Amino acid sequence: TVVAGGNGSGNRLDQLSDPRYVFVDRDHSVYVSEYGNDRVMKWVEGAKQGTVVAGGQGQGNDLRQLYYPQGVVVDQLGTVYVADAGNDRIMRWPKGATQGSVIVGGNGRGGQSNQLYAPIGLSFDRHGNLYVVDYGNHRVQKFNAFSYT
């Protein structure tokens, strides 16, 4: 059963372009990061098209944009967290927001503790600590909950 996309590659709301990661919330909504459209889409269960919940304003590094988004996680409030690989940062997009905020990285590509190099994955533990797969630096970093909120 197709739950997102399936109408060829493209940028319409019923299409995906080079989807990378998927997250399913407790309501069975499907969130998909798209490399090809530099956005994260949300597909409510049974929907024929999705809605843009992060990015979608072209490739770039301003707070309304993503650049090769990868891993995506959504919390119980509907806040979207995305590994913005091309911008070497992790972004947070509150539900309904038209722009996000940088919570980790965003200090240029590099190997310092406040820098990332093409992050591709992220996860939270039950205490709210953030774990980031820092692909280009060949490491996984842990950020304490209080350090990025």
Band (149; pLDDT cuts 50, 70, 90) = low
| Token pair listed for 90 | 């992790």
Q: List the one residue out of 35, 36, 62, 19 whose CA is nearest residue 118.
A: 35
Q: Which amino acid is at 147?
A: S
With residue 142 as reference, give the H or E element that holds it. strand 139-143
Quick one: average pLDDT of 8-19? 98
Q: Check whether 74 has a pLDDT greater than 70.
A: yes
Token pair 């372009």 is found at 17
Q: Strands of 75-118 (E only): list them.
A: 80-84, 89-93, 101-105
Q: What is the largest CA-CA distance in the chain?
A: 44
Q: Which architecture characterizes domain 19-143 according to CATH?
A: 6 Propeller (2.120)
| Token pair listed for 41 | 């889409």
- pLDDT per residue as tens digits for the range 122-136: 999 999 999 999 999
The per-residue pLDDT for 86 is 98
Partner residues linked to 7 by β-bridges: none
Band (146; pLDDT cuts 50, 70, 90) = confident
Mean pLDDT of the residues in the chain: 97
Task: Return the domain boundaries, the chain.
Answer: 19-143
How many angstroms separate the CA atoms of 13 and 28, rounded?
Answer: 18
How many angstroms separate the CA atoms of 116 and 94, rounded?
Answer: 22
pTM of the model: 0.96
Query: In 3-state terms, what secondary structure has residue 146?
Result: helix
How many angstroms separate the CA atoms of 143 and 57, rounded?
Answer: 28
